[in-house]
């Protein structure tokens, strides 16, 4: 799959990350009886975890590291800036998913 750079600039900028690889080429997993890309699953969980870390100043579990989230999604910064970037990326992925369904 080729990512349209004009329509999805955040995804295009992260084309070499593990997230985009999992999103496009990952083996679908079964979630409540429906197939889901590992990239989508990791985004849902990472949004939850990053919100917990930013808003409550609490790590989701003892082995969680924000560096892993940064590397996986190709985002930079700290705190609220990271959360804002991840939410913007999630909105773009949602937009791409809705367009592909139509």
The per-residue pLDDT for range 28-74, each reduced to its tens digit, is: 999 999 999 999 999 999 999 999 999 999 999 999 999 999 999 99
28 within some domain: yes
What is the C-alpha separation between 98 and 102, in angstroms, rounded? 6
The boundaries of the domain holding residue 87 are: 9-101
More confident residue, 69 or 3: 69
Neighbours of 35 (CB within 10 A): 9
Q: What's the total number of domains in the chain?
A: 1
What is the C-alpha separation between 29 and 43, in angstroms, rounded? 14
Q: Is the pLDDT of residue 101 over 90?
A: no
Give burial (CB, 10 Å; 0-12/13-18/19+) of 66.
middle
4 within some domain: no
60 within some domain: yes
pLDDT at 99: 82
- Token match 């592909």: residue? 100
What is the C-alpha separation between 83 and 69, in angstroms, rounded? 10
Using 50, 70 and 90 to split pLDDT, how confident is the model at 102?
A: low
Predicted TM-score (pTM) of this structure = 0.90
């Amino acid at each position: 799959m080729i990512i349209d750079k004009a329509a999805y600039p955040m995804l295009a900028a992260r084309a070499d990350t593990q997230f985009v690889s999992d999103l496009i080429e990952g083996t679908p997993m079964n979630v409540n009886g429906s197939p889901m890309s590992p990239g989508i699953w990791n985004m849902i969980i990472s949004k939850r975890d990053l919100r917990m870390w930013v808003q409550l100043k609490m790590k989701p579990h003892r082995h969680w590291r924000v560096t892993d989230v940064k590397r996986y999604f190709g985002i930079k910064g700290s705190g609220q800036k990271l959360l804002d970037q991840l939410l913007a990326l999630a909105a773009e992925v949602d937009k791409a998913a809705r367009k592909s369904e139509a």
